[in-house]
Amino acid sequence: MMQCTVCHKPYIGPKNHYVCTYCGASIESPVDLKKDPDHLRDVLRKGSEDGIWGYRDFFTVPEDAQPVTMGEGNTPLIHTDRLGAFYGMKNLYLKNETLNPSGTYKDRFATVAMTLAKEDGIKQVAIGSAGNAAAAVAAYAAKADMECFIMLPPGAVKERAWQNMAYGGHFIYGLGGVNDCVKMAEDGEAIFGWKNMCTTMMNNPLACDGYKTIAYEAARSMKFEAPDYVICPVGGGIVVSKVYKGYEEMYELGMIDHLPKMIAVQAAGCAPLVKAYDEGKKATEKWENGDTIAFAIFDPVTFEGVTALDTVRRSGGRAVAIPDDKILDAMRACAKMEAVIPEPASAATIAAAVKLHEDGVIGDNDRVVCVLTGSGLRDLKLFNNENADIPSVKPGDMDSLKQAVEHYQK
């Protein structure tokens, strides 16, 4: 049964725009944890060699459905040695979602969404996105042999567009922001018959359950000792809510003894959720004239704002805005110290951990999981320093070579 994530009232409404008519929150199809709890606990303990599909009992998917999969999931949870020590945090962890097939956590959504679409006989899909979601949907559409249309804002990072093009996606520039592109894909559903693959509970609530597996995997990696804090980047708002839902299910099943506090992070240049949180509001408002290097969370409209705000408050967490310079600092520090290159949106979680630690919210020994939602390999220009003083050495000139080495040892 479909029901509201906040007021829990049954949902009766259209099947392409799932929003609670009572409180405006998102809609979900909750798992019946009382039906066979021993089996569900066994599934969680064993983990999965088949990526997220080992957890299909926690999805609403037909039993005989053949997954459209590329081995997504089973990403590592890294205990940071150098990075954590540098910032004074002894238990700083990175859930490295950059190692998913398309380089983003959105693959956990796309595999479920494309499986459901294939079951329904869908031949065409469409999505409005600035990057990660488009890459994931284009990749899984290619795997499923479906035609994929991508509505992309002209300001999107070119490297992200090239990745989507490599998968065979058809590009249409939406002359406006990312939210205009999302609306374009939604409006086209009735005209062209494609399936709108917008990665929100509002459009695809069942597929969003794929995000819960981030929590299952992280908990298993930590031997089911729940972290004190989980920090997620927030654009549309879905990941912070679904990761928490995964922890709630494990708590109800008796697999963990406490729930983590959820921290929602946005870029200071586009922070509608943080603004609503700070003002004590239950819903977000559109952010005007935003600007940030964190393109993956550059969403002026937080689609799942009501649910995300409820999650943050109910968990005892908070919403934090991080300026671009701090995001860039964290991005570079993570690459240099842990050899993981996160995209700016992902690096924002590390910057948020640093800020909350400096503010005394996070303690030195608290267990903190930062969800790195996407790879920074498409944002390498942010590491480029055209004015860098790079020494040159002629062949055989050992004196110059010595000087070049010493240049970096100053």
The Cα–Cα gap between 321 and 324 comes to 10
Can you read off the two tokens belonging to residue 87? 């910032």
* pTM given for the model: 0.94
Fold of the domain spanning 36-66+104-196: Rossmann fold (3.40.50)
The Cα–Cα gap between 148 and 270 comes to 29
pLDDT tens, position by position, 291-303: 999 989 998 989 8
Q: Residue 110 CB: number of other CB atoms within 10 A?
A: 36
CATH number assigned to the domain with residue range 77-100+209-383, chosen from the 4 options 2.60.40.1930, 3.40.50.1100, 3.40.50.11030, 3.30.70.1150: 3.40.50.1100
pLDDT tens, position by position, 168-202: 999 888 877 778 888 899 999 989 999 999 988 88
The Cα–Cα gap between 251 and 257 comes to 6
pLDDT for res 48: 80
Can you read off the two tokens belonging to residue 106? 């959105």
Q: In the chain, list all ranges with CATH 3.40.50.1100.
A: 36-66+104-196, 77-100+209-383
Distances (CA, A) of 135 to 111, 122, 256, 308: 12, 19, 34, 24
- Asked whether the beta carbons of 32 and 16 are under 8 A apart, the reply is no
pLDDT for res 200: 86
φ and ψ at 16, to 5 degrees? -130, 5
pLDDT tens, position by position, 59-104: 999 999 999 999 999 999 999 999 999 999 999 999 999 999 999 9
Which of 266, 180, 269, 258 shows the shortest CA–CA distance to 225?
258
- Asked whether the beta carbons of 379 and 343 are under 8 A apart, the reply is yes
Strand order of the β-sheet with 229-233 is 77-79, 91-96, 367-372, 229-233, 261-267, 318-322
Distances (CA, A) of 44 to 32, 41, 47, 95, 402: 15, 5, 5, 17, 56
pLDDT tens, position by position, 132-148: 899 999 999 999 999 99
- Report DSSP letters for 321-365, one per residue: EE-HHHHHHHHHHHHHHHS--B-HHHHHHHHHHHHHHHTTSS-TT
What mean pLDDT is predicted for residues 17-45?
93
Q: What's the pLDDT band for 386 if we cut at 50, 70, 90? A: low
> Any idea what the Cα angle at residue 93 is, between residues 90 and 94, rounded to 5°?
150
